[in-house]
Homo-oligomer: A and B are copies of this chain.
Amino acid sequence: MANTKVVLQEDEIPKQWYNIQADMPTPMQPPLHPGTKQPIGPDDMARIFPMNLIEQEMSRERWIDIPEEVMEKLLLWRPSPLYRARAFEKALGTPARIYYKNEGVSPAGSHKPNTAVAQAYYNKVFGIKRLTTETGAGQWGSALAMACSLFGLECKVYMVRISFDQKPFRKMMMAVWGADCVPSPSADTQAGRKILAETPDTPGSLGIAISEAIEDAVTSENTRYSLGSVLNHVLMHQTIIGLEAQKQMAKVGAYPDVVIGCVGGGSNFAGLAFPYVRDKIHGKKIAVIGAEPHACPTMTRGPFGYDFGDTAGNTPLMPMHSLGHTFVPEPIHAGGLRYHGVAPLISQLILDGLVEPRAYHQVESYEASVLWARSEGFISAPETGHALAAVVEEAKRAKEEGKEKTILFNWSGHGLMDLVGYDKYFSGQLKDYALPEEDLKRFTAPLAEFPKPKGASNA
């Protein structure tokens, strides 16, 4: 048969997550307290996260067991299928073999639920009754809403007001799962009320929403905050993607020369890539490519240094590539790739030459996504389109070089909730945009005052 789809049975699913901290050539540098600028310890995070997740965040154990209660929920959509994209290969006329993991099969339509169910579970066993979070376009908010409903936790989502108003369907999803989703800034927090009083017409921002979610968590009973990317434990929860992929690829006797994922905070990329980065550390020759937008070129142009995770500067300082915590990206359709920073783990792997970042334009991303939909059927999320742009680049290179290389990428989610971007693409309204150098300088200038991690490239 001309197609290839590899599925795993329930009993073949990986039973542990992979913690790349056990294998990194350069150990991770600690996050710093936002006030004292000294390394923080577990207790500094105890009002924000439950201690069992803080322990995971700091753990250097290579393998961490997936609790049975988490596995039970993951099995609703996992193991996700691995496919060979033969029609797409044919459409590109490439000798490359292109494999992909389909993470769009989850109830929320992306990889996000992989960590959402784990976080909901750990909070629940720690005695937490309620989680708060922020969401921009709504992917993370809906994933956490779903996870909380499965574990019987309350969920409060602060959604950036402009998205709340423009994207009503994501908040309807959250309502189906029983979450309380409010536009941010809201009247429900001190931070929100202050901003509303000063600027009643503000469209809101992810930074404001984070501030509200954290304030709510630390001032409410039995409540903690949950983050959908960037942190070590979040990326680790996603490694089930790559661990499954390794088993599936082995079943068809394939091993990738190139592994690709799109990168916002970095969780879907890390999920597929980290088990392969482990192989690379141990000598495998393999390219590991993170694809980001030119409009938000965190990895390719953002300096490495300490920076805040949020706009207001309330989070610990993290050692990462950053465009500056006050960075405001142009409105591009890949809402999930508009974060100013990137996961510290990925930042360190870039420094160590284990991960190669590349930037792509949104028009070429949509171009790749349309070709994909018309050959492979599935409609990609705008974020996933950036991974596809990298796949197309690699496949074309293979064609030019006449090489039969094997490409594996993470099809991180479907675009059925984000069709407006396609509509604008077809009507020619989408514009490419690359961050001007002077803006990069302006947004990153304040970082010079922070302490410098080893390898810092901010002035």
> Which residues in window 350-402 of A have CB below 8 A to B?
369-370, 373-379
A146 contacts the other chain (CB 8 A):
yes
Determine whether A28 belongs to the interface, using a CB cutoff of 8 Å to chain B: no
Neighbour of A377 across the interface among B71, B107, B175, B423, CB < 8 A: B107
B422/A177 in contact, CB under 8 A: no
Contact between A149 and B7, CB atoms less than 8 A apart? no
A416 touches B2 (CB 8 A): no
- On whether the beta carbons of B176 and A379 are closer than 8 Å, the reply is yes
**In the bound complex, do residue B87 and residue A83 qualify as a contact, i.e. CB atoms below 8 Å apart?**
no
Q: A26 at interface (Cβ–Cβ under 8 A)? A: no
The answer to the question of A150 belonging to the interface, with a C-beta cut-off of 8 Å to chain B, is yes
A109 contacts chain B at the CB level, 8 A cutoff: yes
Residues of B near A3 (CB, < 8 A) are 10, 71-72, 75-76
| B-side contacts of A65, CB under 8 Å | none
Q: How many copies of this chain are found per oligomer?
A: 2
Contact B1 A77 (CB under 8 A): no
B-side contacts of A285, CB under 8 Å: none
The answer to whether A419 touches B68 (Cβ under 8 A) is no
A4 CB to closest chain B CB (Å) equals: 7
Give, as a whole number of angstroms, the nearest-CB distance from A92 to chain B.
Answer: 16
Q: CB distance A73 to B377 under 8 Å?
A: yes
User: Which listed residue, B146, B377, B423, touches A172 by the CB 8 Å rule?
Assistant: B423
A5 at the interface (CB under 8 A from B): yes
| Interface assignment of A420: CB less than 8 Å from any CB of chain B | yes
A106 / chain B contacts, CB cutoff of 8 Å? 377
Q: Closest B-chain residue to A422, C-beta based?
A: B176
In the complex where A2-B72, A76-B83, A109-B416 touch, is A373 in contact with B176 (Cβ < 8 A)? yes
Give 1 or 0 for each of A390-431: 1 = CB within 8 Å of chain B CB: 000000000000000000000000001101101100100000
Which B residues are in CB contact (< 8 Å) with A1? 10-11, 68, 71-72, 75
A169 within 8 A of B: yes
Q: A36 near B: Cβ within 8 Å?
A: no
Asked if A34 CB lies within 8 Å of chain B CBs, one says: no
Contact residues, A267-285 vs B (CB, 8 A): none
Q: Does A8 lie at the interface of the complex (its beta carbon under 8 Å from any beta carbon of B)?
A: yes
**Contacts A/B (CB < 8 Å), 21 sampled:** A1-B11, A2-B68, A3-B72, A3-B75, A4-B10, A7-B7, A76-B377, A87-B150, A149-B373, A168-B423, A169-B416, A169-B419, A172-B420, A172-B422, A172-B423, A173-B379, A173-B416, A175-B423, A176-B374, A177-B373, A177-B374
Chain A residues within 8 Å of B, Cβ to Cβ: 1-11, 68, 71-73, 75-77, 79, 83, 86-87, 105-107, 109, 113, 146, 149-150, 168-169, 172-173, 175-178, 369-370, 373-379, 416-417, 419-420, 422-423, 426
Known: A1-B72, A173-B416. 13 other contacts (CB 8 A): A5-B10, A6-B10, A7-B8, A77-B377, A149-B373, A149-B375, A150-B375, A150-B377, A172-B419, A172-B422, A172-B423, A173-B379, A176-B379
